[in-house]
Amino acid sequence: MARRDWTTIAITGASSGLGLALALGCARPGVMLHLTGRDEARLAGAANRCRAAGAQVRETTLDVRDAGSAARWVEGMDRLDLLVANAGVSGGTGGVAEPSGQTRAIFATNVTGVLNTALPALDRMAAQPPGADGIRGRVAVIASVAAFVATPGAAAYCASKAAVQRWAEAHDATERHRGLRIHAVCPGYIRTPMTAVNDFPMPFLLTPEAAARRVLRGIEAGRARIAFPWPTYAMARLAGALPMVLRAAIAARLPAKPVGRG
């Protein structure tokens, strides 16, 4: 459950998976939810579920790769206590080279798309009065434990998640003086449409609802890095320390994964 003093919350990629679970976790009377997604029908269904929980909802069909549309979406909010930059795509090729089109698509959404919403949100928040805790606003960026290991065959996905994870943690340290907080959320495997296509074991697989609870608790606790579950996080850190030649040999045995949206 989201904090009682977060009354205006924006979530990208809110039509399914973790984004939907976060929206439902924040939905309650007195809360205004600004939800976006690319699939209009799924987004409408998510919005109606949140309304049934008592929240006010404004849904906007939006592609986060469109910087102008993303900025206008943020600028249209009266206040913004929390933005969750959740929209993302995944993809991998097993042990073969990643196609250039897939690389560009992943970076366009996972890095540029995150910044297209996070940067306008921070500017918007900096101009509003602080809450009772002295914080003017919060941005949570959904990265991944994949940020901590350069997996051959999933170069763009790992690099994109590492980019936003490092950006969020470094920027949090410098934005605190303006009363802003930025959180890098690094989950392990979550049961979503994005992971449904994975043809390999996914240890410690979480439901979206369980993951959303951990995310919201971490933001409320003020953690700059919210990485979970700890066994998956530990394995990613360990794998990241392995010699590249060994990682390449392991990756060569993995099946390819098509690009999928989160």
Closest listed residue to residue 77, CA positions, set 120, 42, 114: 120
Q: Cα dist. 210→3, 86, 228 in Å?
A: 17, 16, 11
Most distant CA atoms of the chain, gap in Å: 54
DSSP secondary structure of 40-79:
HHHHHHHHHHHHHTT-EEEEEE--TT-HHHHHHHHHT-S-
Order of strands, sheet of 32-37, starting from the edge strand that comes earlier in the sequence: 56-61, 32-37, 8-11, 82-85, 137-142, 180-187, 225-228
Active-site hit among 148, 157, 167, 233 = 157
Residue type, 246: L
Bridge pairing between strands 56-61 and 32-37 = parallel
Judge whether 157 counts as a catalytic residue: yes
Cα–Cα distance measured from residue 114 to residue 124, given in angstroms and rounded to the nearest whole number: 16
- Check whether the bond before 229 is cis (ω within 30° of 0): yes
Closest listed residue to residue 6, CA positions, set 25, 41, 31, 27: 31
Active site residues: 157
